[in-house]
Chain A
């Protein structure tokens, strides 16, 4: 069959849109990589509603249940544990699940694929024992997992503070917290007036910091982080005010913010804008969340980082735009006003300028030996050498070094390659493009392709 709308991702944006579009009488399917709805923010929320893990995850986490329940009760068809590996205009979306591939058709596609953590390269970041703070938090949500041994957190932003608070609440131990954000500059003060619109959010962040200070040593102004060990993490090293420090470590959790997932919109050739303040590309979207390809909409963090609350609102806005496009939904302008969607979104985004000023993307010079491409193990030194004799184009680096050609398809190295090219050529980072993204979006086996059924003729 042909769906009216195919939504990719069942997080706050995807679920909000699905609920509303189904109510408007449209045939909706929601494809999700995860086994249950909630996205990464509310991962496992249905399972985690009782017990110690639920308490530690906090009230914002438990808030997700209401939307998950509304989504489960809606008429939208849910396809969990399903990956999208190709999207074609018109629209055909190619999926795999359980080792089989299939194609589904839809009149409109809504990408609500969320964010990924910004890759944080430094010497030793590929050692077993080094992982991201977000990964550790996912492990907490999905199996109640806590890190063991000498656990260090290094990074900046609200997520490490939140995760540290949650882990300590559950009896986890932290050896130390390395704050990589520099001293806040004057720019931060200019952002404060806007931030007061979200007093609760401000208070929450301050609370995490207070709780953490009581229990853990926080080391500020950390630079030049390095992880070392034979076969696994054994030591970490950093500089502070010009002095090197070295400690033993079993687990190092790193985090430098999140960036939109843009592989899908890049593969479709959509226009993207460089957001210098945040250090990422985001698809250029219209008033209703439509990308530069007609019939392709984007909602939530995939269209620019705003967090779960803003994501829910943008899902509702996109749903109205989609309904109008399909001749449903009535007077959507009036509905947009009635539901105060723009005001709600502005409120949800009130803290972002302050957060962006407090935690700008790191711009440290990477040592030459740093692995940039985790898949193909290409170092910063190799990329610098290659780019000195080529144009500032990531695709030239890819062709010359295989950087970005492994299974992750540049998801872990794209922005680093971009920064290195800008550094070598002395041009602004934003003037350098991202890799060209080619199909498939996820690796797929020949057997899966061979199993491809045409859902239009079959269904």
Chain B
């Protein structure tokens, strides 16, 4: 849905992150929520209707960017800057007790 204006330029991505097990390029300054908008089917699944959602507000108020980040579920993706090697997994429904 989104691409970086830096993408496609000769410069290599700033880092790689792992989204649902797949190595994915990422750029300094972007957040987990921004990555979710570039990778298909990475958004959360609503615990109420089971329908897919994607980040909506990007400023910490809507909670539609919830994701499992480095094993921590229900993380607000728009408030977390990407880091090299970060693991981002889709959040299906509510948070599990164990994580």
Contacts and interface: CB of A to CB of B under 8 A. Distances in A.
B1 A47 contact: no
B72 A135 contact: no
B89 interface: no
B63 A144 contact: no
Interface string B43-57: 100101101111111
A61 B51 CA distance: 37
Interface core residue of A48, A131, A143, A146 (most chain B CB under 10 Å)? A143
A232 B52 contact: yes
A139 B64 CA distance: 15
Interface string A350-371: 0000000000000000000000
Contacts of A189: none
Given A99-B72, A128-B43, A143 B34 contact: yes
B61 A47 contact: no
A144 B57 contact: no
Given A35-B81, A377-B46, A412-B62, A135 B56 contact: yes
Interface in B1-29: 1-6, 26-29
A166 B21 CA distance: 34
Given A47-B29, A52-B5, A374-B56, A139 B34 contact: yes
Of the candidates B38, B52, B56, the one having the most CB atoms from chain A within 10 angstroms of its own CB is: B56
B1 to A, nearest CB: 6
Interface residues of A, number: 49
Given A145-B34, A145-B37, A374-B64, A135 B59 contact: yes
Interface string A323-348: 00000000000000000000000000
A52 B11 CA distance: 14
Contacts of B53: 126, 128
Nearest to A148: B3
Contact of B4 (A145, A231, A250): A145
A163 B69 CA distance: 30
Contact of B55 (A53, A131, A146, A408): A131
Contacts of A232: 52
Main secondary structure of the interface of B (DSSP, over half): loop
A144 B79 CA distance: 17
Given A44-B29, A377-B48, A406-B63, A144 B6 contact: yes
Contacts of A139: 2, 30, 34, 37, 58
Nearest to A137: B58
A103 B35 CA distance: 32
B1 A171 contact: no
A281 B56 CA distance: 23
Contacts of B43: 128
A231 B41 CA distance: 10
Contacts of A375: 48, 63
Contacts of A144: 4-6, 27, 29
Contact of B3 (A126, A129, A142, A146): A146
A242 B58 CA distance: 34
B59 A408 contact: no
A407 interface: yes
Contacts of B6: 144
A142 B63 CA distance: 18
A59 B30 CA distance: 22
Interface string A131-158: 1101100110011111111000000000
Interface string A24-46: 00000000011100001000100
Nearest to A140: B5
Contacts of B59: 40, 116-117, 134-135, 138
B88 interface: no
Contacts of B62: 374, 408, 411-412
A132 B56 contact: yes
B93 to A, nearest CB: 13
A200 to B, nearest CB: 27
17 contacts: A40-B59, A117-B59, A128-B1, A129-B1, A129-B54, A132-B56, A135-B57, A139-B58, A144-B4, A145-B5, A145-B30, A146-B4, A149-B1, A170-B5, A377-B46, A412-B62, A443-B74
Interface of A: 33-35, 40, 44, 47-48, 52-53, 81, 83, 99, 116-117, 126, 128-132, 134-135, 138-139, 142-149, 170-171, 231-232, 250-251, 261, 374-377, 406-408, 411-412, 443
Interface of B: 1-6, 26-31, 34, 37-38, 43, 46, 48-49, 51-64, 66, 72, 74, 78-81
What are the nearest 5 A-B pairs in CB distance? Answer: A143-B30, A135-B58, A128-B54, A138-B58, A407-B63
Given A135-B58, A144-B6, A377-B46, 9 more contacts: A35-B81, A47-B29, A131-B57, A132-B57, A134-B59, A135-B55, A142-B31, A142-B34, A148-B2
